[in-house]
Amino acid sequence: MLRHESSRLDKEGRPIQDRVEDLGHLKYRRAFEMLLNWIDSNLDIYKLELNRLPWPIFVYSYLSLVKDEATVERDIFFNHFSSSFERFHADELQEFSLVTLPAHIDANATTELYLKNKYKLPLNQHAYYSLITFLESSGKSGGTVILGLLQTYFEIRETTRGLIDRFSFEAIINNVKSEENDVEDLEEGIPGAFTGVTNKDISNNNAILKLGMMPMEPELISDVRTELEEEDIKNPPDAGKRSLVEEFDTNMKREEGVDTPSQVEIPLPPTRARDVQMEVQKVKEYRERFKIESRTGGVGVGVSVCMFTFHNTLDCITCIEFSDDHTLIAAGTEESYIRVWSMVGEPLHVILPGEKQPTNSRRLIGHSAPIYGLSFSPAIAGSEHVDSALSTRPKLLLSCSSDKTIRLWSLETWSCLVVYKGHEGPVWDVRWGPFGHYFATCGRDKTVRVWGQDHISFLRMMVGHDTSVNKIAWHPNGAYIFSASDLSDKSVRMWAFTTGECVRVFCGHLDFISALACSPSGKILASADCSGTIILWDIITGLPTKRCKGHGKGGIWSLSFSVESTILVSGGADCTVRTWDIEISNDPHKSPEGEVSTSSCQTEGTRANSTSGPSTNSNTVHATGAKRKPKDTTITPDQISAFPTKKTPVYNVKVTRMNLVLASGCYLP
């Protein structure tokens, strides 16, 4: 008897614990190590599924230690394992590191979501059985601890689909059988914590959309046709070229249809003579534009980029914006003022009598904090009219700031007209709607708001994101708005302007979303993040169609589509402007995420003009880029060209209606 009892004691006379769960707070660390080792040594066919498990187990183990006030073991656990998740969960780790007391759990929105909701985890039935069998057989080694967490905090669903390898025979067969149930089966995580999905109806992405262009008023169509007929008589088209009337009837006339939004639901101001002039000029530019075909026979599209570089900025410029008629450029600063320049070197237009000596730049002063967003009212390049009412140049400028306000500026009197208030924190972005009059804003208060130019208060407030909303974009028909959230949300939402409801949620980014753009066709959405990844989405289905990689880390700050929606242009912190092919390959064996190593395909880049004025560079570096990147940088085959700058991060890119690319940035020596 004594021998039996002494065999359970260590050399110092303390009892030897046979079970990990009897080790006190150390049990979470031992159990988590056991789980990681088992996943690492498992069959490769199961690893893709089982690798979803460590992150939520890490979170719930850490929160359990916080609730138990195990200060020492809590810090050891976090410091020992957090590095494994820094690549995809850096923002969440930073947030969890601040949760060190039980009181912090109730005060933190993210931890509250984790503890008040079940973590949904879809697992293929083979992987699930393998997991449960292992945990039950390893009860004393920590399996009981993991099982306890799974039973308390998880909702595991056995899916009938194949394993995550979509090209396996099992995946293909089972996906055909259970195609209708896949969306529900594949819901993963905490509702609202990562994907921002707080409603099952929203996550299904089944809401009916009207993506057609906003129909034109019959009177406007008649007036535009009359103007175009007169223009065709004055300047007959060249042989083999369509007349302006034919171009208008074929490509530009917008008539009411089944998939078009209603003018009654989105009322716009009465049509003016200026609107007729703008539509006429749009037809002219569409006919004379540089056409970009969807396929070029393996030769990159010869897109030209005109780069505007700001010098001696002391890194104080926060945002840059081009006007639609590409005659003005504006920059917002950390010193809370805006500066507007003429891009063509001419004095800025002003209507005030007795104005001082003409100048080609002006300051707009009024904000009391850094400015983060600018947007010119819709405009188009055209012949200048003596009558200011017929001029198609931009007349208004919107700005948003960290002072919680949006300001509307006149570009004729160069003064502030209106101050819009409503946001409860810094306002990160502002965008005019495609037809003017309405504009959208977003900010740190997690809301998107839509305003009317003639209303001091907002008309719509869209609520649903779980963290700060940093980017917005309009659909070209003006009926929908896209918004991107940062930190732990990392989702893009699509809102209906007429109802304020969320009609699509786009989930897939693993880093801070830094840019948004909708194609002129209204069917493709592009979003980019700080890891250098661009995702193209099918708006109708809400699913990603391809991922484009090539930019270095630091963020892609601007996106813009060509007129035909066949080419995407991007610019970012890696000091390059890049062009991408939008078309999807029909070859199922060519993954949309296929990557090319830069170490074997790199070519020497061309040097961009580094003068302070605008410089045009049509010599491109095809397929792979300009400078040698680190070995871990990859470039997908859909990159067409890369335009390097000289130590100039690209703040903004814009494709004009003639398919010329404008870019701007600040030289940082």
Within-domain flag for 107: yes
Q: Which domain holds residue 343?
A: 305-666
Residue 117 lies in a domain: yes
Residue 626: the pLDDT is: 42
| Over residues 150-155, mean pLDDT | 90
Give the bridge partners for 576, in sequence order.
Answer: 644
In this structure, are 273 and 385 located in the same domain? no
Same domain, 153 and 240: no
Q: Is residue 29 part of a domain?
A: yes
Higher pLDDT, 197 or 564: 564
Q: If we measure between CA atoms, which residue out of 558, 564, 551, 516 comes closest to residue 650?
A: 558
297 part of a folded domain: no
**Does 270 share its domain with 324?**
no
Tell me the per-residue pLDDT of 41-60, one tens digit each, with 9 for 90 and over. Answer: 988 777 777 888 999 999 99
Which pLDDT band, with edges at 50, 70 and 90, does 359 fall under? confident
pLDDT at 416 over 90: yes
Domain count, the chain: 3
pLDDT of 389 strictly over 70: no
**The pLDDT value given to residue 397:** 97
Average pLDDT over residues 268-287: 90
Classify 522 in phi/psi space as left (phi over 0), alpha (psi -120 to 50) or beta: left
Residue 176 has pLDDT above 70, yes or no: no
Tell me, what CATH number does 52's domain have?
1.25.40.500
Residue 195 falls inside a structural domain: no
Condensed to tens digits (0 to 9), the pLDDT of residues 337-354 reads: 999 999 988 888 888 777
Q: 554-599 pLDDT, tens per residue?
A: 889 999 999 999 999 999 999 999 999 988 655 444 444 444 433 3
Query: Is residue 208 included in any domain, yes or no?
Result: no
| 287, burial (CB in 10 Å: exposed 0-12, middle 13-18, buried 19+) | middle
- Strands of the 491-496 sheet, one edge to the other: 469-474, 480-485, 491-496, 502-507
Same domain, 248 and 359: no
271 shares its domain with 127: no
Rg (alpha carbons) of the chain, rounded to whole number: 29
Residue 360: inside a domain = yes
Please tell me whether residues 284 and 316 are part of one structural domain: no
Domain co-membership, 146 together with 244? no
Instruction: Say yes or no: 532 and 598 in one domain.
Output: yes
Specify if 319 maps to a domain.
yes
Q: What share of the chain is helix, strand, coil (3-state, %, to 5)?
A: 25, 30, 45
Considering 188-202, 294-308, 423-437, 608-622, the range whose residues carry the highest mean pLDDT is 423-437
Strand order in the sheet with 615-617: 615-617, 305-310, 661-666, 650-655
- At residue 292 the predicted structure's pLDDT band, cuts being 50, 70 and 90, is confident
Do 581 and 520 have their domain in common?
A: yes
Whether 229 and 100 map to the same domain: the answer is: no
445 with 592, same domain: the answer is yes
Q: What percent of the chain has pLDDT over 70?
A: 80
Q: Is the pLDDT of residue 1 over 60?
A: no
Higher pLDDT, 563 or 292: 563
Q: pTM above 0.95?
A: no
Instruction: Return the pLDDT at 169.
Output: 43
Q: Is the pLDDT of residue 606 over 50?
A: no
> Domain containing 326 — which CATH number?
2.130.10.10
Mean pLDDT is lowest, of 239-243, 460-464, 507-511, 632-636, for 632-636
Report whether pLDDT(313) > 70.
Answer: yes
Model confidence at 309: pLDDT above 50? yes
pLDDT digits (tens, 9 = 90+) for 459-493: 999 998 888 999 999 999 999 999 998 777 789 99
Residue 161 vs residue 430, higher pLDDT: 430
Are both 16 and 62 inside the same structural domain?
Answer: yes
Pick from 165-179, 282-296, 388-402: least confident: 165-179
